[in-house]
Amino acid sequence: MPFRRAVRVLVTAALTVWASVVPTSRMAAAAEAPTGNSAVVFAYDRFGEDQNPSLSIRLDQFESHLDELTDGDYEVLPLPRILEALRTGKPLPDRAVAITIDEASRSAYTEAWPRLKAAGLPFTLFVATDAVDRGSPAHMTWSEIRQMAAAGVTIGGLGGSTQSLVPRTAAEVAAELRRMSDRFQAELGQRPTILAYPQGEYSLAVRKVVAEQGFVAAFGQQSGVLHPQADPFGLPRFLMNETYGSVDRFQLAANALPLPVSDLTPDDPLLTVNPPPLGFTISDSVGDSSKLACFAAGQGRTALERISDDRVEVRIKDAFPPGRARVNCTLPAPDGRWRWLGVQFLIPE
């Protein structure tokens, strides 16, 4: 598999056009998503910190992922290249993959980066600036981040703190993003144009502020596959940690295809009705969707009601507890692959 040097800086003007033409809420996710124009993005946080299994992945697991990517039929690409291809309609190779790492932890520098360099795989590092500024021993230094950027690692933003932006006012969200961006400019000589939402959480209100602050793409932590009509400010990633980091799950995700839908309701991840009345219209490009199955966190497989041939409503039986909750919908695809749609909800106290 050829090594592609990571591109650190997005072509902001071009990607801004993509962001401006995609509808501004989850209601208008994708009508068409050909299999040759999609990509899977993986999200990691910490490495070999086995005392934190919800955040960290074991080193043997991570190495098995890298072996799968280098030995298998995948093309690992810099994230900016994938985003630009989705915007412009340029074809992506089948099984295009991007690797992302959140938080700039010390173990990402000492454990993940050497292994990624040895494998010749590009990746994106999302940096939360406050911990770096404090000199936290659990995180990288600015000098180390500059070293990675100089080596071709794409550097994106993760906010100032790692705390969720959702409970804050629009002014507070904007202030934190500006503070983070100013620190990037001072330390790296550039402002971030790609964001990972802290804790993967966002609402329509947060999404609006992020778009207004000049970002061109933002990622959550809901499962799913990138495709051209996906909301650029609500992009999915497959989260990898010790609990969900088996090589079997990694292979399943790496081979996933998009499940493009439109008119997704509710359009705001921050719930006002619980359980949510989840519904969506499946794109004609999918073909036969009779084997669609959806699974709600803590509840297992849910009942589905067909409102029409392509309109589906997911009957979630019980209210979700406060916090984060996810619904994953899958559909068998040719060659043993699966189409995948993940939806994340935030449930207030």
**pLDDT for the residue numbered 21:** 38
Which one is predicted more confidently, 24 or 98?
98
The pLDDT-based confidence of 280 (bands split at 50, 70, 90) is: very high
Which SS3 state, helix, strand or coil, does residue 255 take?
A: coil
User: Quick one: average pLDDT of 116-131?
Assistant: 98
**pLDDT for the residue numbered 10:** 36
- Whether the per-residue pLDDT at 76 is higher than 50: the answer is yes
CA–CA distance, 164 with 344 (Å, rounded to integer) = 14
CA–CA distance, 297 with 295 (Å, rounded to integer) = 7
**For residues 209-222, b (16+ Cβ closer than 10 Å) or e, as one string?**
bbbebebbbbbbbb
- Whether the per-residue pLDDT at 12 is higher than 90: the answer is no
**pLDDT for the residue numbered 4:** 34
**pLDDT for the residue numbered 285:** 87
- Whether the per-residue pLDDT at 84 is higher than 80: the answer is yes
- Asked if 41 and 237 count as a contact pair (C-beta separation under 8 A), the reply is yes
- Whether the per-residue pLDDT at 102 is higher than 90: the answer is yes
**pLDDT for the residue numbered 103:** 95
**Distance between terminal CA atoms of the chain?**
48
Share of the chain above pLDDT 70, in %: 90
- Whether the per-residue pLDDT at 31 is higher than 70: the answer is no
pLDDT per position as a tens digit, 334-346:
999 999 999 999 9
User: Quick one: average pLDDT of 310-336?
Assistant: 97
The pLDDT-based confidence of 198 (bands split at 50, 70, 90) is: very high
Helix H segments across the chain?
Answer: 12-21, 59-71, 79-88, 106-107, 113-119, 129-134, 142-150, 170-188, 204-212, 247-254
Task: Count the neighbouring beta carbons within 10 Å of the beta carbon of residue 252.
Answer: 16
Q: Determine the CATH number of domain 12-258.
A: 3.20.20.370
Backbone angles phi, psi at 203, to 5 degrees: -125, 175
The domain ranges of the chain are 12-258, 262-347
CA–CA distance, 223 with 328 (Å, rounded to integer) = 7
Q: Determine the CATH number of domain 262-347.
A: 2.60.40.10
The pLDDT-based confidence of 9 (bands split at 50, 70, 90) is: very low
Provide DSSP, 183-233: HHHHHHSS---EEE-GGG---HHHHHHHHHTT-SEEE-S--B-B-TTS-TT
Which SS3 state, helix, strand or coil, does residue 306 take?
A: strand
User: Quick one: average pLDDT of 269-280?
Assistant: 98
User: Quick one: average pLDDT of 23-40?
Assistant: 55
**pLDDT for the residue numbered 342:** 98
Q: For the chain, what is the largest distance between any 2 Cα atoms, rounded to a whole number of angstroms? A: 57
**pLDDT for the residue numbered 197:** 98
The pLDDT-based confidence of 287 (bands split at 50, 70, 90) is: confident
